[in-house]
Amino acid sequence: MIETLYSLDALQTPVAFLLALLIGLGFGTALEQAGFGSSRRLSAIFYFRDMTVLKVMFTAVITAMLGLSYCFALGMLKPGDLNLLETIYGAQIIGGLIFGIGFVMGGWCPGTAAVGLASGRIDALVFLVGAMLGSLVFNEAFPMVKHLVNIGNRGILMVYDVLGVARPVFAFGFAGIAVISFWGSELIEEWQGTGNLRGRLGSLILVTIGFLGAAGGLFLPIPSLSGTAAVQPVKDLTTYQSLLETVDQGEDHIEPEDLAKRLLTNESGLMLVDIRSAAEFNHFHIRGSVNIPLQSLSEELIPFKNVGTIVLYSAGMTHPAQARDLLHLQGFSNVYFLTDGINGFITRCLKPASLRHEPVSSEMVQQINIWRTYFLESENPPRTSVLPTKN
């Protein structure tokens, strides 16, 4: 079994930053070798003169897809060990259009611009400065556009699940699309007079056989190397549809104020789970919570499946939301995550009224003081949790 930095919640450790630096240097070197240090070559794809961008990027995508598919099939890796991003149709379409326009106008994307800057390209420096200024403008304007960020949010979706096909079928089909794109790119370059189809014919044949052969291997019975059953594709979308409905109706989270009130009344069957590291939990945690590592959630929470209410929280919402979705797919219908995490709980429930930017009512001031008294006092004796009793 492979443990990832994400599954270990170690993305902010020195080791993670060192690995990020080394991977970044390797990635930059690969891009430079591929010719991505030239904006002319990058933008040439839009004029069908040089299709290197498509060929390199498609090769990277297919290699990653097949590598992960084999890791899943062999039981070496679980989908929950990866940072699976949400599908947000509206925001991602708008962002993609803005990114594409910027790519056409500037000839760079942020990653290739960094490579170009390392190669001494002045236009890459101008592009990066513009990207940083754009980021600052977006940050300042975020309060006005934040309602657009989640337009069309459908949660974590897999293409093969949406299409209703098994993972190997999709992998083989996608590899086939890549092969067709590679041959088409060579023909386009040949038509433009910039290609060398005859000289690359052998490589194209090897790539075709390699990708289709590797994708076809996923159809074969693959024994798990971890001693546990390999991940099997979902045969229908019923569970995923149920998940999407809870997300769409806002039934996947609990607001900090609601949680504070329920904890204050010692609600029976309410289980609050802190999925951060033990060190972070011991430094400060919400009173009444228990600490369960992210990778142990499924096993530890089995006795409380669909009994009472389980609320997950961390520093933010990404890990708890993804953990909640994965538990839902395992049949848990009583798991929620805390909106804005522990930081949001502190800001919205425990921050003194006098330090808030907006005035609050006298009733709210009284409520805040009650919460501060309860949640900020030391637990004596220590309170482990309010665990539900399984019938």
Return the domain boundaries, the chain. 14-219, 238-376
Does the domain at residues 238-376 carry the CATH identifier 3.30.1440.10?
no
Query: Which one, of 143, 112, 110, 142, lies nearest residue 129 by Cα?
Result: 110
Burial 269-301 (b: 16+ CB within 10 A, else e): ebbbbbbbbeebbeeebbbbbbbbbbbebbeeb
**Residue tagged 């030239």 (tokens):** 38
pLDDT digits 0-9 by tens, 231-271: 444 444 445 556 566 666 667 889 999 999 999 888 888 99
pLDDT band at 225 (very low <50, low <70, confident <90, very high): low
Least confident span in 76-85, 128-137, 320-329: 76-85
Write down the mean pLDDT value for the chain. Answer: 83
Sheet arrangement for strand 253-254: 253-254, 335-338, 309-313, 270-274, 289-291
- Distance CA(71)–CA(68), nearest Å, equals 5
Burial 112-140 (b: 16+ CB within 10 A, else e): bbbbbbeeebebbeebbeebeeeeeeeee
Q: Is the pLDDT of residue 194 over 80?
A: yes
Per-residue tokens: 34: 């591929």
Q: Is the pLDDT of residue 384 over 50?
A: no
Contact 343, 366 (CB under 8 A): no
Q: Which residues contact 386 (CB under 8 A, 6 or more apart)?
A: 266, 267, 268, 269, 270, 271, 272, 288
pLDDT band at 66 (very low <50, low <70, confident <90, very high): very high
Mean pLDDT computed over 145-163: 79
- Distance CA(369)–CA(116), nearest Å, equals 55
Q: Is the pLDDT of residue 378 over 80?
A: no
Q: Is the pLDDT of residue 207 over 70?
A: yes
Residue 83 DSSP label = -
Mean pLDDT computed over 272-301: 89
- Distance CA(87)–CA(150), nearest Å, equals 9
User: What pLDDT, on a 0 to 100 scale, did the predictor assign at position 248?
Assistant: 61
Contact 106, 130 (CB under 8 A): yes
pLDDT digits 0-9 by tens, 306-330: 888 999 999 888 888 888 888 888 8
- Distance CA(247)–CA(337), nearest Å, equals 11
User: What pLDDT, on a 0 to 100 scale, did the predictor assign at position 215?
Assistant: 93
Of 110 and 232, the structure prediction assigns the larger pLDDT to 110
Contact 7, 80 (CB under 8 A): yes
